């Protein structure tokens, strides 16, 4: 239950509507409890000779109060249920906004399917509590309060016997409620596992089909689905047992009422109309008593779901990430030249602190220069450049941008100066034009065209029926690998960055196209600091400086000519690639 306290700020936003709903709940139950009084008057007025007008008047008043109760119940739903939808809207926005501001390290350990499950299934469980849960909880409380007050006023003795099952009810709600919470949490975790499997499977459907693993994946899904089905069935059986138990208690509570009430009538201490009114109250209590089980289930599910949401919402976001989605004005970058200084940088990934990826790296990159970083797989190339936009934080040392420690710069301002093309290309399900201008929708059509020409993508796009308005499938599935890379490069170029980072971003294009792209970048971005990671000597040889990383250290540094003369790691890599090219030419 304490997990639900984090919803108080959301409830406070809509306190006016909730207080109105609170008042409507009191009124609907007040009119509902007053109505049976006229049943007693109508029944008692028919003893011996009676006037039919009296019976009709009392019956009409009972119907009037029933209608008033129904009308205010409608207003209850309009206030509380509608408010729950508003809060659900706020919760979803806050959840998505928080996800946008979480650091890269968070996504390294959390699956997409798990996040989707928490943002859909868990949020829906919380919404059930905010709407039906709160409404029926309050309604049950006031129905019990008013009905019990009316029952005591009629006959304290009968009320005592009618409430004999209450201790058993309280104990069962407590014990079964705890069991429901555990099972609900387990069900939500199973649903998250299914969501994650489906999301991964559909994203990688081409791999599944290429390796003819359809049957294997179906078996995996059926296993998880069977487990999810079994947990739901177990919870359903428990709920069915609980509801049946509550209904039985209600039915048994009528037996002593009828027996003792009938005795009271024969003794003349109660009237038949009074017994009829009392039985109506006992019957009126049946739904609140039965709904206790349902409301308990809603609350337990919501508590488990909110705990899972709080786990995400409690994650520390990246600093200084608040702000508008659009890129700031160019004036914000005035005075920025793009010079970088890595000072004694060390880095290890979270959870692997004893295995440093970078170890005391010191490096100077002058503004406007083109620097290449080469090295074997796992040498720390990607890790090094990922520290520049603070996708990760170094465990030691500092990075200086134009004389300022990047940790002193607002994160939004820092990243606005950097264009990053990572190893894994990602395109959105949108038009090609919007993907290129995605960094800033302020980019004009001419700027999109210029960026596509720089990336050597323009001619390819013109061959599509809708050219730049061509809609891309999921992750750009209708583009080739090389076209995806060039589209990502065009997006970075359109960003007009001070620093452009290309992390093995030309691996899927041929060497001729690669050379043309690099020449175009030099021509279109002469003042931009370019950091290029590549395994191809043909790509990096024209850079101003080449850095060779080995085991997290800078093993060599210099121009292409200087490194060949040094005859070290770079020299061996160069000769190896020359040999590969000769073998390919002979074949």
Q: What is the pLDDT of residues 145-156, one digit of tens each?
A: 898 888 888 888
Judgement on whether residues 274 and 371 belong to the same structural domain of the protein: no
End residue of a domain, out of 313, 345, 360: 313
In terms of Cα–Cα distance, which of 113, 129, 123, 114 is closest to 93?
Answer: 123
pLDDT at 23: 93
- Report how far apart, in Å, the C-alpha atoms of 45 and of each of 31, 37, 151, 172, 537 are: 22, 12, 21, 42, 106
- Count of CB atoms situated within 10 Å of the CB of 315: 15
pLDDT band at 330 (very low <50, low <70, confident <90, very high): very low
What's the structural domain count of the chain? Answer: 3
Please count the CA atoms within 13 angstroms of the CA of 446 that sit on its side-chain side: 0
CA distance 234 to 180: 10
Tell me if 408 is assigned to some domain.
Answer: yes
| Residue with the larger pLDDT of the pair 1 and 219 | 219
Q: Which of 152-156, 167-171, 396-400, 432-436 has the lowest mean pLDDT?
A: 167-171
320 in any annotated domain: no
Geometric angle at alpha carbon 378, from 377 and 382, rounded to 5°: 95
411 lies in the same domain as 432: no
pLDDT at residue 508 is higher than 80? no
Per-residue confidence (pLDDT) for residue 293, from 0 to 100:
67
Q: Tell me if 503 sits within 8 A of 421, measured CB to CB.
A: yes
Let me know whether 584 and 467 are in one domain: no
- Same domain? For 135 and 205 the reply is yes
pLDDT value, residue 317: 82
- Model confidence at 443, in pLDDT bands (50, 70, 90)? low
**409 and 435 part of one domain:** no
Whether 283 and 166 share a structural domain = yes
Question: 381 and 251, same structural domain?
Answer: no
User: Max Cα separation, the chain?
Assistant: 125
Co-location of 109 and 239 in the same domain:
yes
Mean pLDDT for the stretch of residues 212-227: 86
Residue 177 falls inside a structural domain: yes
- Please report, for the domain that includes residue 365, its CATH number: 3.40.50.300
557 Rama sector, left if φ>0, alpha if ψ -120 to 50, beta otherwise: beta
Q: Which tens digit of pLDDT belongs to each residue from 525-555?
A: 888 899 988 887 877 888 889 999 888 888 8
Sequence-distant (6+) residues with CB within 8 A of 557 are: 363, 545, 546, 547, 548
483 and 537 in a single domain? The answer is no
Assess if residue 202 is contained within a domain: yes
Statement to judge: residues 448 and 391 lie in one domain: no
* pLDDT of 329 higher than 60: no
Tell me what percent of the residues of the chain surpass a pLDDT of 70: 92
What does the alpha-carbon distance between residue 94 and residue 30 come to, in Å, rounded to a whole number? 38
Kindly state whether residues 546 and 477 are assigned to the same domain. Answer: no
Question: Has residue 465 been placed in a domain?
Answer: yes
pLDDT band for position 323 (cuts 50, 70, 90): very low
**pLDDT at position 465:** 84
pLDDT value, residue 320: 61
Q: What is the token pair recorded at 160?
A: 């005592």
pLDDT beyond 70 at 322: no
Is 327 inside a domain boundary?
no
Judge whether 520 lies within some domain.
no
Euclidean distance between CA atoms 348 and 387, whole angstroms: 11
- Residue 407, domain extent: 336-417+500-511+528-587
CATH for 14: 1.20.1560.10
Say if residue 134 is in the same domain as residue 269. Answer: yes
Average pLDDT score over residue span 136-152: 87
Pair type for strands 396-401 and 545-550: unpaired
Structural domain contains residue 321: no
């Amino acid at each position: 239950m304490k997990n639900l306290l984090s919803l108080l700020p959301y409830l406070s936003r809509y306190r006016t509507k909730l207080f109105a709903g609170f008042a409507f709940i009191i009124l609907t139950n007040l009119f509902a409890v007053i109505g049976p009084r006229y049943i007693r008057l109508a029944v008692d007025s028919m003893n011996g000779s009676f006037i039919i007008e009296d019976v009709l008047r009392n019956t009409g008043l009972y119907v009037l109060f029933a209608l008033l109760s129904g009308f205010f119940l409608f207003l209850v739903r309009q206030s509380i249920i509608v408010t729950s939808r508003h809060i659900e809207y706020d919760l979803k926005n806050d959840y998505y906004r928080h996800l946008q501001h979480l650091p890269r390290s968070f996504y390294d350990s959390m699956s997409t399917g798990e996040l989707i499950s928490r943002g859909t299934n868990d949020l829906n469980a919380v919404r059930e509590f905010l709407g039906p849960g709160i409404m029926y909880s309050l309604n049950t409380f006031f129905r019990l309060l008013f009905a019990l007050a009316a029952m005591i006023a009629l006959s304290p003795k009968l009320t005592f016997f009618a409430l004999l099952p209450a201790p058993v009810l309280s104990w069962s709600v407590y014990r079964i409620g705890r069991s429901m919470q555990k099972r609900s949490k387990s069900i939500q975790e199973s649903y998250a596992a299914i969501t994650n499997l489906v999301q991964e499977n559909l994203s990688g459907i081409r791999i599944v089909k290429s390796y003819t693993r359809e049957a294997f994946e179906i078996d995996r899904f059926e296993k998880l689905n069977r487990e999810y089905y079994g947990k739901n069935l177990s919870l359903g059986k428990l709920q069915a047992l609980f509801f049946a138990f509550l209904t039985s208690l209600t039915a048994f509570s009528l037996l002593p009422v009828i027996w003792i009430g009938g005795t009271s009538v024969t003794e003349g201490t109660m009237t038949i109309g009074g017994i009829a009114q009392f039985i109506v109250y006992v019957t009126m209590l049946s739904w609140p008593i039965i709904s206790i089980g349902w409301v308990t289930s809603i609350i337990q599910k919501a508590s488990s779901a909110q705990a899972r949401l709080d786990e995400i919402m409690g994650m520390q976001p990246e600093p200084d990430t608040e702000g508008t989605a659009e890129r700031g004005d160019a004036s914000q970058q005035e005075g920025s030249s793009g010079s970088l200084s890595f000072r004694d940088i060390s880095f290890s990934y979270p959870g692997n602190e004893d295995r440093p990826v970078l170890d005391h790296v010191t490096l100077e990159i002058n503004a406007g220069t083109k620097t290449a970083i080469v090295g074997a797989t796992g040498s720390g190339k990607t890790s090094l450049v990922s520290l520049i936009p603070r996708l990760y934080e170094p465990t030691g040392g500092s990075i200086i941008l134009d004389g300022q420690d990047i940790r002193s710069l607002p994160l939004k301002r820092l990243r606005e100066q950097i264009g990053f093309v990572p190893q894994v290309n990602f395109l959105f399900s949108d038009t090609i034009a919007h993907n290129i201008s995605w960094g800033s929708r302020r980019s004009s059509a001419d700027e999109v065209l210029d960026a596509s020409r720089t990336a050597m993508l323009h001619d390819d796009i013109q061959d599509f029926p809708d050219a730049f308005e061509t809609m891309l499938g999921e992750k750009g599935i209708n583009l080739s690998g090389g076209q995806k890379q060039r589209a990502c490069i065009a997006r970075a170029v359109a960003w007009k960055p001070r620093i452009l980072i290309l992390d093995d971003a030309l691996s899927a294009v041929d060497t001729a196209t690669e050379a043309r792209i690099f020449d175009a970048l030099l021509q279109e971005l002469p003042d931009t600091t370019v950091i290029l990671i590549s395994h191809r000597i043909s790509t990096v040889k024209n850079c101003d400086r080449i850095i060779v990383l080995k085991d997290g250290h800078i093993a060599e540094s210099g121009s292409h000519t200087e490194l060949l003369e040094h005859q070290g790691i770079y020299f061996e890599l160069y000769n190896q690639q020359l040999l590969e090219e000769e073998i390919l030419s002979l074949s």
